[in-house]
Amino acid sequence: MPLFLFPLAFVGLIGVPALIAIYLFRNRFRRQPVSSLMLWIDARESREGGVRLRTLQTPLLFLLELLVILALVLAAAEPFFRVRATARPLVVVLDDSYSMQAGGESSPRRRAEEALRELLSERPPFSVRFVLAGQRPQLLGEAVRSPREALAQLNRWQPFAPEARLEPALSLASELGGELALLLVLTDHPPPQDSVPKRGRVLWWSFGRPRDNVAITAAARTLSGERDRCLLEVSNWGRLAASRTLELVLSTAGQAPQRFELKLEPGEVRRLTLSLPAETGPIQARMQADELPLDDAVDLLPVSPRPVRVAVRLANKRLNDLVRRALEATQSARLVADNPQLLITDQTGEPELAETTWVLQFRTPDKGEPQAFTGPFVLERTHPLLEGIGLQSVIWGCAKDEQQLPGNPLVLAGNTPLLTAQERLSNSGVVRHHLWMRFWPELSTLASTPDWPILITNLVLWRSAALPGITRPNLRLGETASLQLTDFRDTLTLVGPQTERRTLPVKGRVVGLAVDRPGVWQINKGQQVWSIAVNACNAEESDLRSAEPGRWGDWLDETTLRQEYRGVSWLVVVALLALGCVHLYLMKRGGTRG
């Protein structure tokens, strides 16, 4: 399809009816040879123009003049034709969020693929590269040179991400493509109001449609004493009221599913709290499938207790009482005498323990000059031990000790370290943490503030997170599962819901697993098997009311015109000169005959 830089030049086509009018009202005479004009009374020249409308005759001169007018107008409009093969690469940013699957056969993902297929057939680029816009941008593959290879690579686009961060993906696409690259965004939402693309290198195509959707937007399962507590949140992201049956399927043999009838108003969020026996196995909550089936079912695995074996060896009676009461309040600590995983002591010197035992060592000398600090205290906020601790209006008492505490300071009062930590690596590669705390309970108000149980709870939870096994079995899509191993392994096997198997390389004892599909996954290490449940629970992705189809932006700029189009005005001018020469020749020839 040709492009005209000055389409207003087509106003010159009004010369065509003017030329036709001239020929319609032109007088016509029959040639009559005579011997002389001497006997004629009035020998005046006849006028070519007349007032009577006559039948239009189209001699060759008329056709030439008509072609000249058309050529003049066409040359003034400056036509450009796009060449089929361009020298500009194309980088396509693909919305990788799972809302692109809404609608089944007419989903935004399918319609985006059809539009891209049509674009590549009409204007094959120099190269094509795909960037997936999920929680973090990533490449779908290497750059390809043919539309067939590009479409084959596009088949691997399976949007399951919990969100789509398009701006970082656009930045990555711009860096990969360079200055000449054309950028195309395929999504289901319009661009932000402050960054709507205009004429330039970015096209934004949205294929979403407003849809009503009822979704499970939150799911959690915790162990509380001898009961399991399950929290489910159901949201109606629709314009009309909706009725749904929430079915809770238990894995225990012989138990019938529990059903809950829900009637939700538009925008209503309903929360259900269920109490189940502690021995209940995996459960599944599901509803009728609608526009987005991915968020209509969740799996919840049982949360196994991970108590920490703690040995308390404190000679200071007051400190011993404070520590034991704080440990009992955590409900995650089990007091033992031998083979502890965490030792809390005030003994001097280096305790002889197993290489897997963590140590919190108090320095509470019975003798010595006391001192107290009222702050301000400097805290290492990024350390897990100090999460939620403020030390506001706290008096921290201790005895003067000329010996410096080893390790990195976590709490400082001026230049005096009060709490330090050191990470030690054994010969077998086991990481053990050793903490030192300078503390005198008789001179301190720390134990009477919430910071004291928070400190002990953080210590127990930190040690529990380092125990072998899965830290959290129930995850949201996009979260990373943490697996602690007891020994070094080279690889692990990850089995997905559709029996998909992946072999993962392992370095060290801590493995982070980023699972990109919802469902129940299994992690195999020899004879050991761990399970994790991944659920698509994201209210923003399930809310399809703001989806909107449309296209924004235009690739037609100066660079595109220079790289992809070729002007043909010179060819029109050459044809115009040729027509003019023929017209002059015929006029001269006709005048000579007359």
Per-residue HEC secondary structure of 63-114 comes to: HHHHHHHHHHHHHHHCEEEECCCCCCCEEEEEECEHHHHCCHHHCHHHHHHH
Q: What is the pLDDT of residues 304-322, one digit of tens each?
A: 888 899 999 998 899 999 9
> Do 106 and 137 reside in the same domain of the chain?
yes
Q: Can the peptide bond before residue 376 be classed as cis, meaning omega within 30 degrees of 0?
A: yes
Residues 433 and 325 in one domain: yes
d(CA 376, CA 393): 9
What percent of the chain is modeled with pLDDT above 70? 86
pLDDT at 507: 75
Query: Is 302 domain-assigned?
Result: no
| Pair 429, 474 in one domain | no
Burial class (CB in 10 A: 0-12, 13-18, 19+), 253: exposed
Bridge partners (DSSP) of residue 261 are 245
63 φ/ψ angles, rounded to the nearest 5 degrees: -65, -40
State the CATH number of the domain containing residue 515: 2.60.40
Shared domain for 552 and 439, answered yes or no, is: no
> In this model, does residue 87 exceed pLDDT 70?
no
For residue 249, being part of any structural domain is answered with: no
Q: What is the mean pLDDT of residues 551-570?
A: 68
Asked whether the predicted pLDDT for residue 92 surpasses 70, the reply is yes
- Which of 421, 436, 465 terminates a domain? The answer is 465
Highest mean pLDDT among 94-108, 244-258, 579-593: 94-108
Together in a domain, 26 and 136: no
Collapsing DSSP to helix, strand or coil, 491 comes out as strand
Report in angstroms the alpha-carbon separations of 288 from 114, 218, 296.
Answer: 29, 17, 7
Q: Which of 80-94, 155-169, 410-424 has the lowest mean pLDDT?
A: 80-94
Is 571's pLDDT higher than 80? no
Is 397 a residue whose pLDDT tops 50?
yes
C-alpha triplet 48, 49, 50: angle, nearest 5°: 120
Report residue 80's pLDDT band, with 50, 70 and 90 as the boundaries: low
Condensed to tens digits (0 to 9), the pLDDT of residues 478-521 reads: 888 888 887 766 788 888 887 778 888 877 777 888 888 899 99
- Lowest mean pLDDT across 118-122, 123-127, 392-396: 123-127
Look over the chain and give the mean of its residue pLDDT values, rounded to a whole number. Answer: 84
pLDDT on residue 98: 94
Question: Lowest-pLDDT range, 129-133, 239-243, 505-509?
Answer: 505-509
Predicted confidence at residue 81, as pLDDT, reads: 57
* 283 band by pLDDT with thresholds 50, 70 and 90: very high
DSSP reduced 3-state for 430: coil
Torsion from C-alpha of 63, 67, 70, 75, nearest 10 degrees: -170
* Confidence band of 35 (pLDDT split at 50, 70, 90): confident
Written as one letter, the residue type at 299 is D
Position 488 in a domain: yes
**Does 27 score more than 70 pLDDT?**
no
Q: Is the pLDDT of residue 449 over 70?
A: yes
Amino acid at 22: I
Last residue of a domain, one of 422, 444, 465: 465
DSSP state of 587: H
Tell me, what DSSP letter sits at residue 170?
A: H
559-91-142 Cα angle (round to 5): 135
**Where does 251-369 show beta strands of DSSP type E?**
258-264, 269-277, 283-286, 297-300, 308-313, 333-335, 342-345, 358-363
- Give domain status of residue 39, yes or no: yes
- pLDDT band of residue 367 (cuts 50, 70, 90) is low
* Whether residues 144 and 49 fall in one domain: no
Rounded CA-CA distance 341/343 in Å is 7
Give the model's pLDDT for residue 110: 95
User: Is pLDDT above 80 for 115?
Assistant: yes
Tell me: pLDDT of 52 over 60: no
The Cα-based distances of 450 to 330, 378, 384, 481 in angstroms read: 13, 18, 17, 30
Q: Domain range for residue 113?
A: 90-210+546-556
Rounded to two decimals, the pTM is 0.71
Q: Are 105 and 199 contained in the same domain?
A: yes
Residues 443 and 341 in one domain: yes
**297 within a domain of the structure (yes/no):** no
Query: What's the pLDDT score for residue 578?
Result: 81
41 and 153 inside one domain? no
Instruction: Give me the residue label for tokens 């080893």.
Output: 406
Residue 594 has pLDDT above 60, yes or no: no
245, 322 Cβ separation under 8 angstroms: no
Q: Are residues 344 and 409 in the same domain?
A: yes
Q: How far, rounded to the nearest angstrom, does the alpha carbon of residue 580 sit from its chain's CA centroid?
A: 62
Helices (H) and strands (E) in the chain, counts: 10, 34
The pLDDT, as a whole number, for residue 287 is 93
Calculate the CA 119 to chain-centre distance: 24
Q: Domain total for the chain? A: 4
First-to-last alpha carbon distance for the chain, in angstroms, is: 47
Q: Which residue has the higher pLDDT, 265 or 193?
A: 265
Residue 206's alpha-carbon distances to 95, 113, 189, in angstroms, are 10, 12, 6
Three-state secondary structure call for residue 129 = strand
- Counting beta carbons within 10 angstroms of the beta carbon of residue 200, is it exposed (0 to 12), middle (13 to 18) or buried (19 or more)? middle
In terms of DSSP bridges, do strands 519-525 and 565-567 run parallel, antiparallel, or are they unpaired?
unpaired
| pLDDT at position 219 over 60 | yes
Residue 389 within a domain: yes
CB 237, CB 231: distance < 8 Å: no
Contact between 139 and 156 under an 8 Å Cβ cutoff? The reply is no
Strands (E), 316-402: 333-335, 342-345, 358-363, 370-373, 377-379, 396-399
What pLDDT, on a 0 to 100 scale, did the predictor assign at position 386?
Answer: 93
Mean pLDDT for 224-249 is 89
Same structural domain, 340 and 416: yes
Q: Say yes or no to pLDDT of 324 above 60.
A: yes
Please indicate, yes or no, whether residues 69 and 158 belong to a single structural domain of this protein. no
Of 12-21, 211-220, 420-429, 453-462, give the lowest mean pLDDT range. 12-21
Task: Using the 3D structure, point to which of 465, 488, 506 is the last residue of a domain.
Answer: 465
Nearest to 368 by CA among 321, 392, 406, 400: 400
- Give Cα separations from 432 to 359, 408, 423, 462, 464 (angstroms): 8, 14, 6, 12, 13
- Going by pLDDT thresholds of 50, 70 and 90, the confidence category of residue 350 is confident
Q: Any idea what the CATH number is for the domain that residue 189 is in? A: 3.40.50.410
Residue 54: what pLDDT? 54
Give residue 455's pLDDT band: very low, low, confident or very high (50, 70, 90).
Answer: very high
Question: Has residue 400 got a pLDDT over 80?
Answer: no
Which range, of 9-23, 41-55, 381-395, 570-584, averages the lowest pLDDT? 41-55
Per the structure block, which two tokens stand in for 215?
A: 């979704």
High-pLDDT (> 90) share of the chain, %:
42
So what's the pLDDT on residue 593?
A: 47
Of the listed ranges 165-169, 248-252, 290-294, 312-316, the one predicted with least confidence: 248-252
What pLDDT does 132 receive? 95
437 within some domain: yes
Question: For residue 155, what are its two tokens?
Answer: 């088949």
For residue 119, tell me if it sits in a domain: yes
Structure tokens at 277: 């026996």
For residue 536, give both structure tokens: 């698509």
Q: Is 162 helix (H, G, I), strand (E, B) or coil?
A: coil
Instruction: State residue 520's pLDDT score.
Output: 92
pLDDT for 378: 92
Residue 84 pLDDT > 70 = no
